[in-house]
Amino acid sequence: MDVVDTPPPELQTMSLGLYDLVHFALMAGGFSLFAYFLYTWASRQEVGRRYRPAMHAGLCLAAIATISYLVLFLKWDSGFTLTDGVYVPNAEARFTGSTRYPDWAVTVPLLTVELLAVCSLTGARARHLRLTTTTAAFLMILTGYVGAQLVADGRDRTALVVWGLISTAFFAYLYVALAGAVRASLPHMSRPAAVSLRNATIVLLASFGVYPLVYAIPVFADVTPAWWATTQVAYSAADVVAKVGFGLLVHKVALLRTAEDVRAGEDTHPEPVWISNVHESDGVLPELGRVSLSAAADLRGGHGDGRTWVERDRHEHDRHEHDRHEHDRHGPDGRDGRGGATRTATDRR
């Protein structure tokens, strides 16, 4: 064993500047994650049902990470006492980093789910890869936690190296598996979607690389208060990039693929798809004839005039068709209802 005899980093005295720097990083990280949670919640219906699991995974990890950062901020705020111009740690300081590894143990597997949800893998292959990558992600975090926190409070350099190498093996599998899934999916989507998916994968795997670099700091140097503050800032920045930056790119991929499916007639979507003010596809409703009246009445309820919603929609559709034929007969203007209108699957034919 090679145990460092200096105090654990969270129990070292912090200068005003270093304390405020970490304070700022935790607040900025927490606010960013909360904003991403609100954005994902508000826009979750913008993508087709095929890709909605990516939005659900993003919502879950954003909620967990936001709560984690709230706890981190409260522990940091209460873990030090200002004395003679410096911040002296108290009993609460031991827990100033307590939620990071439990947070990552859940959110990192969810990141793999989020990425795979917008890939083109299907069936047993998709299920197998989702299981193995989430398991590897969890074990990567767990083994890193053993070396960084459990063995000699993370002060044993030998344990840091051994458990770090074990954790790196799981990371290597994640890299190969996720990169392979993305590479197999690229030929099955448009170029804009493929470019966004590739960029999302680069952002995710590159941000993953920050964590082992920070983990390795105590192996080569004593963790001084300056290093501890740098660690907290680096972790906070990596969390925002891996969760928010990556999540926004995945959302774009899901939108592009939703538009592709609608244009190809493989799926319907009730509203037009717009990305950066570019109209990608019209809104297309399912064919009314494929909806059972009794099922629709059970699911959507009747209307005050005794008709079900489907009957009313069918009546409105027939009236619309009649008006359009009459308009064409008396002098069409060439417009076909495109440019963002919502149509039925029958109208597309």
pLDDT given at position 337: 45
Is 90 exceeded by the pLDDT of residue 181?
Answer: yes
Structure tokens at 181: 């899934």
| CA–CA separation, 288 and 285 (whole Å) | 8
Pairing of strands 283-285, 342-344: parallel
More confident residue, 298 or 283: 283
pLDDT given at position 336: 47
Average pLDDT over residues 71-79: 92
Instruction: Express each pLDDT in 53-68 by its tens digit.
Output: 999 999 999 999 999 9
Instruction: Express each pLDDT in 274-297 by its tens digit.
Output: 888 888 888 887 765 555 556 555
Is 50 exceeded by the pLDDT of residue 334?
Answer: no
Banded pLDDT at 218 (limits 50, 70, 90): confident
3-state secondary structure of 14: strand
Write the secondary structure of 213-280 as one string of H (helix), E (strand) and C (coil).
HHHCHHHHCCCCHHHHHHHHHHHHHHHHHHHHHHHHHHHHHHHHHHHHHHHCCCCCECCCEEECCEEE
H or E segment to which residue 27 belongs: helix 16-43
- State the chain's mean pLDDT as an integer: 85
Q: How many other CB atoms are found less than 10 A from the CB of residue 221? A: 10
pLDDT given at position 343: 58
pLDDT over 90, % of the chain? 56
Is 80 exceeded by the pLDDT of residue 338?
Answer: no
Banded pLDDT at 52 (limits 50, 70, 90): very high
More confident residue, 153 or 171: 171
Amino acid residing at 37: F
Provide CB contacts within 8 A for 2, sequence distance 6+.
156, 157, 158
Contact 173, 137 (CB under 8 A): no
pLDDT given at position 271: 83
User: Phi and psi at residue 277, in whole multiples of 5°?
Assistant: 65, 20
Domains in the chain, CATH or no CATH each? 9-263 (1.20.1070.10), 283-344 (no CATH)
pLDDT given at position 282: 84
| CA–CA separation, 113 and 107 (whole Å) | 10
More confident residue, 149 or 34: 34
Average pLDDT over residues 177-184: 96
pLDDT given at position 222: 77
Banded pLDDT at 340 (limits 50, 70, 90): low
* CA atoms within 13 A of residue 4's CA, in its CB half-sphere: 22
Is 70 exceeded by the pLDDT of residue 12?
Answer: yes
Average pLDDT over residues 249-267: 92
More confident residue, 283 or 199: 199
Banded pLDDT at 205 (limits 50, 70, 90): very high
Q: Which of 29-38, 105-114, 166-175, 281-290 has the lowest mean pLDDT?
A: 281-290
More confident residue, 214 or 143: 143
Is 70 exceeded by the pLDDT of residue 112?
Answer: yes
Buried b (16+ CB within 10 A) or exposed e, 157-177: bebbeebbebbbebbebbbeb
Contact 120, 189 (CB under 8 A): yes
Q: Which of 50-54, 265-269, 308-312 has the lowest mean pLDDT?
A: 308-312
Is 50 exceeded by the pLDDT of residue 115?
Answer: yes
More confident residue, 299 or 76: 76
Contact 103, 64 (CB under 8 A): yes
